[in-house]
């Protein structure tokens, strides 16, 4: 007999047996343990351990209460108590959930019973009807007439196959071991995400801060994870984007429940080129819930506030004149992620919100910024806004073109600038002036000494007295 015929016959027999076998069901009542590892990009790894009864030979197991956004091609079932005795021959993910509309759609072309109630006597009558359509309403054929709308209560004979009340992974199994086994189903899923948020409180002198870090978990996966072992992976994990997204987006529009707040910090360890954060206790992530757990806390972290005025390259190559009046000066905050600065933990990317107490002792919001994944011993720099009381006027006072633009000669420009920085505060401030210099540059003269911040940046630190102003003048030569 031809090998292809034999394989076809075996498959036909297996599928037939699968269809005829009584379906075994496993629900959350069978669950012994669940572990969830959540990544940054709407991705999670679920490991669901259950004690189930599996008949010997070929049988069907309906693994209920899995994620509605499961990537079914990643599902892997294995036996923990009888390794090697269980194999998966076929699996189907039934995500078409039971609703009145879905039930009606499945009965198009089939017969139902319509029960009407007499509004006067209350007597009920039953008629047989055929469902012709369920698009934007219902169309029924009752006897020789066609009716639209819902003429009464519709009674269905049964629930069609593959229409489930909960997301279910149905597997055809071959079992050669014990009938009762501990199994683990692992799979990747969407609908689970996390992000880090940080709250900083700056002291009165702007030189120390207290920091609290929180992890916000969001579960819109269509399943609950009770007393789960929770781990979070921070890092940019590559994913192939070719899988179908329609199923994984089924429940994205659901609203979140009120937040539950945790208090314990999370342990951190290296994982490949990423960082793994583990919660030291089980936690429950209910369906359609947002939850917060503590990530870190630190007090008295040294900080540095900086007022920064940064220029541009364009005016070093042409005559410009006035370059701006009352130019806003940026406000930045820096602190080190080091152990000697009372931190030193790799920080996941997130939003940092900064507060400071007013004269009455009430914390007021003073700005926020994003941070990327920040390793240990790196400096965190936040842009909080623009200064209100510190401004600058800037103009080009001289410009000379010393050489033309010929490709056989250098292009050389000499220019001079005046910058007046005003301070309306009752205390003196220091403003950092950064000027990006193009090409090969040199400062010819200056009213304040500069430093070379980088190969193309001149930096001045200008002290501005309280309720006063300071003037910076400099002349430079640039050439290409």
CATH code where residue 455 lies = 2.60.40
Is 349 part of a structural domain of the chain? no
pTM of the model: 0.73
CA-to-CA distance for 400 and 316, rounded, in angstroms?
Answer: 10
Is 372 part of a structural domain of the chain? no
Of 300, 318, 348, which closes a domain? 300
Q: Are residues 442 and 329 in the same domain?
A: yes
Is 214 part of a structural domain of the chain? yes
Q: Are residues 177 and 210 in the same domain?
A: no
Is 373 part of a structural domain of the chain? no
Q: Are residues 311 and 429 in the same domain?
A: yes
214: alpha, beta or left? (left if phi > 0; alpha if psi -120 to 50): beta
Q: Are residues 399 and 472 in the same domain?
A: yes
Q: Are residues 175 and 77 in the same domain?
A: yes
Q: Residue 64 belongs to what domain range?
A: 3-93+166-189
Is 151 part of a structural domain of the chain? yes
Q: Is 428 helix (H, G, I), strand (E, B) or coil?
A: coil
Q: Are residues 84 and 114 in the same domain?
A: no
* Residues in the chain, pLDDT under 70: 1-21, 161-162, 241-265, 404-409
Q: Are residues 185 and 200 in the same domain?
A: no
CB distance 346 to 376 below 8 Å: yes
Q: Are residues 288 and 330 in the same domain?
A: no
Q: Are residues 268 and 132 in the same domain?
A: no
Are β-strands 468-479 and 412-423 bridged in parallel, bridged antiparallel, or unpaired?
antiparallel
What are the b/e assignments for 106-143, b being 16+ CB within 10 Å? bbeeeebebeeeeeeeeeeeeeebbbeebeeebbbeee
Estimate to the nearest angstrom the gap between the alpha carbon of 444 and the chain centroid: 51
Q: Are residues 435 and 474 in the same domain?
A: yes
Is 466 part of a structural domain of the chain? yes
Q: Are residues 55 and 128 in the same domain?
A: no
Is 309 part of a structural domain of the chain? yes
What is the total count of domains within the chain? 4
> Please, what sign has the CA dihedral across residues 177, 183, 184, 189?
positive
CA-to-CA distance for 450 and 395, rounded, in angstroms?
Answer: 19
Residue with tokens 């076998």: 21
Q: Are residues 139 and 251 in the same domain?
A: no
Is 357 part of a structural domain of the chain? no
pLDDT, tens digit (0-9, with 9 covering 90-100), for 86-123: 999 999 887 777 778 888 888 899 999 999 888 888 88
- CA-nearest of 394, 418, 397, 423 to 327 is 394
CB distance 470 to 462 below 8 Å: yes
Give the helix/strand (H/E) hosting 470: strand 468-479
Residues forming beta bridges with residue 423, ordered by sequence position: 390, 468
pLDDT attached to residue 347: 92
> Please, what sign has the CA dihedral across residues 102, 103, 106, 107?
negative
- CA-nearest of 144, 113, 118 to 129 is 113
Residues forming beta bridges with residue 455, ordered by sequence position: none
Of 236, 271, 300, which closes a domain? 300
Of 300, 316, 346, which closes a domain? 300
CA-to-CA distance for 479 and 415, rounded, in angstroms?
Answer: 12
């Amino acid at each position: 007999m031809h090998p292809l015929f034999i394989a076809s016959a075996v498959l036909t027999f297996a599928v037939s047996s699968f269809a005829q076998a009584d379906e075994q069901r496993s629900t959350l009542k069978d669950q012994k343990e669940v572990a969830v590892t959540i990544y940054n990009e709407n991705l999670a790894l679920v490991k669901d351990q259950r004690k189930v009864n599996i008949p010997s030979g070929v049988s069907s197991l309906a693994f209920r209460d899995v994620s509605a956004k499961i990537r079914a091609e990643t599902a892997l079932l294995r036996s923990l108590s009888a390794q090697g005795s269980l194999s998966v021959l076929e699996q189907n993910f039934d995500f078409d959930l039971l609703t009145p509309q879905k039930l009606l759609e499945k009965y198009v072309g089939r017969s139902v019973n319509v029960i009407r109630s007499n509004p006067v006597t209350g007597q009920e009558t039953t008629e047989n009807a055929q469902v012709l359509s369920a698009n934007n309403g219902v169309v029924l054929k009752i006897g020789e007439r066609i009716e639209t709308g819902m003429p009464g209560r519709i009674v269905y004979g049964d629930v069609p196959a593959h229409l489930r009340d909960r997301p279910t992974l149905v597997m055809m199994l071959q079992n050669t071991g014990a009938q009762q086994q501990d199994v683990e189903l692992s799979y990747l899923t969407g609908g689970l995400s996390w992000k880090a948020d940080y709250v900083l409180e700056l002291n009165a002198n702007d030189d120390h801060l207290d920091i609290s870090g929180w992890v916000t978990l969001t579960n819109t996966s269509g399943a609950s994870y009770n007393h789960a072992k929770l781990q979070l992976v921070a890092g940019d994990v590559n994913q192939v984007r070719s899988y179908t997204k329609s199923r994984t987006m089924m429940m994205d529009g659901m609203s979140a429940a009120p937040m539950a707040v945790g208090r314990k910090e999370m342990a951190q360890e290296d994982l490949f080129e990423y960082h793994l954060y583990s919660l030291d206790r089980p936690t429950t992530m209910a369906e359609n819930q947002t939850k917060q757990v503590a990530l870190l806390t630190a007090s008295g972290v040294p900080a540095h506030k900086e007022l920064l005025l940064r220029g541009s390259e364009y005016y070093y190559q042409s005559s410009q004149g006035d370059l701006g009046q009352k130019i806003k000066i940026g406000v930045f905050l820096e602190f080190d992620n080091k152990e000697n600065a009372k931190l030193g933990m790799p920080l996941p990317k997130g939003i940092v919100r900064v507060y400071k107490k007013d004269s009455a002792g009430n914390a007021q919001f003073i700005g926020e910024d994003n941070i990327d994944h920040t390793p240990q011993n790196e400096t965190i720099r936040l842009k909080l806004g623009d200064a209100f009381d510190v401004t600058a006027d800037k103009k080009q006072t001289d410009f000379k073109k010393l050489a033309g633009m010929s490709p056989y000669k250098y292009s050389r420009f000499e220019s001079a600038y005046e910058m007046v920085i005003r301070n309306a505060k009752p205390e003196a401030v220091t403003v950092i002036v950064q000027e990006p210099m193009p090409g090969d540059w040199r400062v010819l003269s200056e009213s304040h000494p500069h430093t070379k911040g980088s190969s193309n940046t001149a930096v001045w630190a200008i002290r501005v007295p309280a309720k006063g102003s300071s003037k910076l003048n400099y002349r430079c030569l640039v050439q290409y």
